[in-house]
Chain A
């Protein structure tokens, strides 16, 4: 059995498993019924490492979570791959998957926004720049959002804002920790002021989450910029990043033009942010699931002590499904 078949098989199994479990509105996540979506680099037999230029088997790269075996460079992965990497096998169910972008401003630049949306869906294999859902990480329930950079640069328009907001609301309802994996160029200009206001909307939802004292872990990945960094991404109780990811508010070029000087090479890297007190830790993708799992455990065990008598603390995926 080739690797591709293996993946396909595995996904079909998951899909079956999920279908049996779900009887409510939430439908099974796209990932589970379609073959993995690859960008041009990853789908050819060989890929060149962005970090060290070495040639890598794409299949091997994929198996290795997108990490280069030579230099550990963290290549971008799709939202679906990320979800697969982080959640327990088969234990993720997408919510609010039927929210689609519109063209509220009737926006046209060199090309109509409507066309861009269609192209983005086709090239990214995703319906918008984010996937949200409920799943488990080492048997602990979690509300998870993962941004899809391939979809118009992971830009935040009304759909991204709405999906994140609903995910947070769901987390509050179900007392779940929230994890958001960011990767974005910022706000989506084509939706004008409406996209700007999604910064306020998501932050306002996080204010409620904060008051509810629920954990929010923000994971920053290559690249995270603009209105996304300047709203939900920087509001984590714990903020972590993958190594070498570029993160900032303004783009490097804009800053260089403004201040008329060259910026240091490591400027706006995860390492720079750590040095400048902006993030809690840099976590390698290979340790990410364990890290998140342990943080969730550490942040829930004191509270759960009181409710110990009520039995085990573990979240079964079946319990979660009932909530969706």
Chain B
């Protein structure tokens, strides 16, 4: 059984050669040449430096289209018209499944038809050269964003291709993104990704790694997200990563979101080794959006407001077309500018909201229950502990589609709109904390004159897209 240990150099080389044989473009990767290439890049394209030196939250959208020239045009637009500080390249779903053949078909199809028949940029198929053309065309740092359980080849090619930031992790790109990949398997594969990033780091090219904080995007209780971020941060650090950006997805309650971002930074600094620079990223609401651009702009703005108060290092913006499908570049840029306006109008204001410290304290205590149980399950080893804790249900993620998580925990909002846990299943949590949640939820049930039930959860899932934060019953008393 694997453990949280650094992959030895020869093992790294062996796997590297093996996976590069998976698709022809793998052959073009040359580590030493890649280091030289990264060294040739200007300071404005060094992701970790730009992010860590920023004095206010940097904005980054999501964006990926199949063809290279279209991707260049898209990113130029988001940089120019959207004023994005950091840029993304979102990878298509076939690549995420390692189906490079299908991705190739889709890419050729897209080239011929001019239509976007893939939902992202197939970076493996574009190869090192294609990636570098993109890096060279855009005067800003670019991150690879995906959702790939086995991202080894993608990492090898995009790192050599000049990308200096890579989203994901063994839990965060497994549990929400796939049904059948075992956790042990994805951890092993991501140890390679992190080790490769660490190898670049050793040579002075600090590749930024960003675990995917929002998980299933749907009412994830902050402590569950943070515990998983801490684990993924630790795994990355073990493999030599020195720039880690921990993520968190907005739940919509300002106090809880600010408290969670504070806790994330604090616990990140505490749990990760001193030589790692820990930054945070806040994702604007990742759950179901309103089917209406005007109302979606309201959701986006609430995210901007929260970011202005919490001041994370980075904000991933949404577009007003989130509900409908992949946004046009105009809509994507508009989400960026709406967010920028709200942040810039609010960030110089002193906005100290009551109760943030208490909520942060609760989140930290909850998170420690989970990190403690992980260490206990693994007899001190975080890899074993994570696998065992998910297995026993002591660690769980709501709405997890994966067979590797129980997905038995159910969240619901309390009367103030904060996300609490309604069904604990086997989640490892102290009784006094459970009691706090229970009391908060029962206050809501009283307000609504109905029992706590899955109906409440379902109502909460739809609430924001229906225009509210809390899924109250339509007619008071229609139990």
Binding partners A and B: no
